Amino acid sequence: MRRLKSFAVVAGLILSTTISANSKKESAQGIEALPRDVEMELASSALPAPLQEAATIYVLDPHKGFVVARKGTNSFHALVARTGDDAFRGSWPLTEYPPDVLYPVSFDAAGARAHMQVIFDIAEAQAKGMPAAELKQLIQERFRTGHYKPPARAGISYMLAPIMRTYDDPEQSPKISTASHPHVMYFTPNVSGKDIGSGELGGMFPHIIMPGPHGLIVQALDTKEKAAINKRHAGLTQKLCKLKQAWCLPQQHGEHTD
C-alpha cells in the first residue's frame, strides 16, 4: 500500500513538472491560438472577395507552425502571421516574441514559393522554442546569404484585411500598433524608392519596403475602398476586439491602440 502511495506521489510530481514545463514552453512561444473559425475568416479577408473561397487557407498550430486548414483550387494562399517577417528587418534587438501581432497576408503562387516560406520558417522555429534574438539573427543571415530566393516572376500579395497589428516602422523600432490599413504589394526586385519617386510623394502614393532582391511596392487603398472593407468585415473586427483589447481598432475604443 505504501509503495502504491509513493508511486502515486512520484507520478503526480512528474505530471506536475511536465505540465509546468509545457506551460513555460507555450508561454515562451508568445502565441495563443486564435479560434479556428476566426483565424480562417481573418486570413481569407486578406484577399479580394472573388478569390477567397477557392484560396488555400492556413492556421497556426503554436506547437508546430502553420498547417493547411483548407486546400484551395486557385493559386492563392492566405494566413495570419503572429510573428511577421517584418520583425526581422530592422537592426533593433528582438528580445521576445510579440504576443498579439496579427498580420493577415496572402500571396499568389510565386509569392507563396518565396515570401511565404520565411513566415513558415519563423513560425516553425518559434514553435520549437528558439529564442527570439537567435531566430532574428538566423533569418537575417539567411537573407544575406541568399538562402531565401526572390520570387521567380512579378506577382502580387494582397493584404486587404480590415485590421492588422504589427510594427509601425520595422526598419527603425519595435513599436507595435493596431490599425486598419488594407493595401496591395507588388514584387519589385532591386527597385528603389528613388526609382518610383516615393521619397517625394508620401501619403497614399506607393512606396518600397525591403529594397533589394525581395523588394515590394506597397500601395494603400483609397478612403472609399477602405471604408467598404471595414463595413463588410465589421463583424470580424468586433470578434477580435472581444478576444483581446489590443485587437480593437482605434474607432472601437476612441483612441489608437499601442
Q: Which residue has the higher pLDDT, 198 or 56?
A: 56
Query: What's the longest Cα–Cα distance across the chain?
Result: 83
Rounded percentage of the chain residues whose pLDDT exceeds 70: 83
Q: pLDDT tens across 99-116, in order?
A: 999 999 999 999 999 999
Mean pLDDT (the chain, rounded): 87
Mean pLDDT of 34-60: 98
Which of 76-90, 92-106, 139-153, 202-216 is least confident?
202-216
Decide if pLDDT at 256 tops 50. no
Q: Which residue has the cell 480562417?
A: 40
User: For 162-188, b where at least 16 C-beta lie within 10 A, e where not — what string?
Assistant: bbbbbbeebeeebebebebbbbbbebb
Q: What is the DSSP letter of 192?
A: -
Decide if pLDDT at 225 tops 60. yes
pLDDT at 7: 40
Mean pLDDT of 69-98: 96
- Listed by start position, the domains of the chain span 32-179+221-253
Q: Any residues with CB less than 8 A from the CB of 80 and at least 6 apart, and which? A: 34, 39, 42, 43, 59, 60, 102, 103, 104, 105
Confidence of residue 161 (pLDDT cuts 50, 70, 90): very high
Mean pLDDT of 54-58: 98
Three-class secondary structure of residue 201 per DSSP: helix
